Amino acid sequence: MAVLDTDNMTVSTKGTLPRVPFLALKEKILGKTYELSIRFIGPAEAQALNILHRGKEYIPNTLSFPLSKKSGEIILCSSAMRKEYKDFEMTYDNYLVFIIIHSMLHLKGYDHGSTMERKEQQLLTLFT
């Protein structure tokens, strides 16, 4: 099990942590004091969480759970992302950064739409 643990952020996975600027992304998008947990989980657990919290049956690539105005959790399913990244004409690592940006913007209160998409592209340009 690999864990990255800082004052305001924890990233955990059963495998090797990907080379992603997790802390820089969090500080840029959510701020330095925001408390964030990022967990990589398998497809069965991701699907169970999606059913429980959203009433949707499919295996999600990510789920974002705001816990308060200053804290939240992001759940990532690597196997779902590995099936999708080529459809977006990105490398897996760039797609992972995109999904993390997407998830963090949801924690900030953004909803899907053109404003969120513009912000995603701006941030993706900075971090890839």
* pTM for the model: 0.92
Task: Give the helix ranges, DSSP H, for 1-128.
Answer: 22-29, 43-54, 78-84, 92-107, 114-127
CA dihedral 94, 95, 101, 107 (to 10 degrees): -160
Dist CA 42 CA 49 (whole Å): 11
The residues spanned by each domain of the chain are 2-127
pLDDT tens for each residue of the chain, 128 residues long:
677 778 899 999 888 888 899 999 999 999 999 999 999 999 999 999 999 999 999 999 999 999 999 999 999 999 999 999 999 999 999 999 999 999 999 999 999 999 999 999 999 999 98
Q: How far is CA 120 from CA 7, 68, 80, 104, in A?
A: 26, 22, 20, 10
Helix count and strand count (H, E) for the chain: 5, 5
User: In the CATH scheme, what architecture does the domain 2-127 have?
Assistant: 3-Layer(aba) Sandwich (3.40)
Task: Match 């840029």 to its residue by tokens.
Answer: 28
